[in-house]
């Protein structure tokens, strides 16, 4: 009786970089995917892109709040320069 083993190889993975970009890492420069593998990779890229968009929006909101709280205003709300 032969001994069999199934080995899982990661062909590609999408990751988010520190500068809010999506990085695609592949096993080889040129890879042929099945239709389902291509769909899975596309969904992974979309999820990573949406996460980056969310992180950028959160960062911009935080920056806006910090800028707004650091702005000196008069009692009527007018910005004092």
- As a whole-number percent, the residues of the chain with pLDDT over 90 amount to 47
Q: What is the pLDDT of residues 7-21, one digit of tens each?
A: 988 889 999 999 889
Compare 30 and 70 and report the one with higher pLDDT.
30
As a whole number, mean pLDDT of residues 35-41 equals 94
Cα dist from 32 to 26, 41, 53, whole Å: 11, 12, 29
Report the number of secondary-structure helices (H) and strands (E) in the chain: 1, 2
Whether pTM > 0.75 for this model: the answer is: no
pLDDT, residue 28, reads 84
């Amino acid at each position: 009786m032969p001994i069999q083993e199934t080995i899982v190889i990661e062909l590609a993975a999408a990751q988010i970089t520190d500068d809010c970009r999506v990085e695609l890492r592949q096993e080889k420069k040129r890879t042929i995917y099945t239709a389902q593998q291509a769909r899975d990779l596309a969904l992974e890229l979309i999820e990573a892109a949406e996460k980056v968009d969310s992180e950028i929006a959160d960062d911009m909101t935080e920056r806006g709040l910090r800028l707004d709280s650091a702005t000196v205003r008069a009692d009527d709300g007018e910005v004092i320069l």
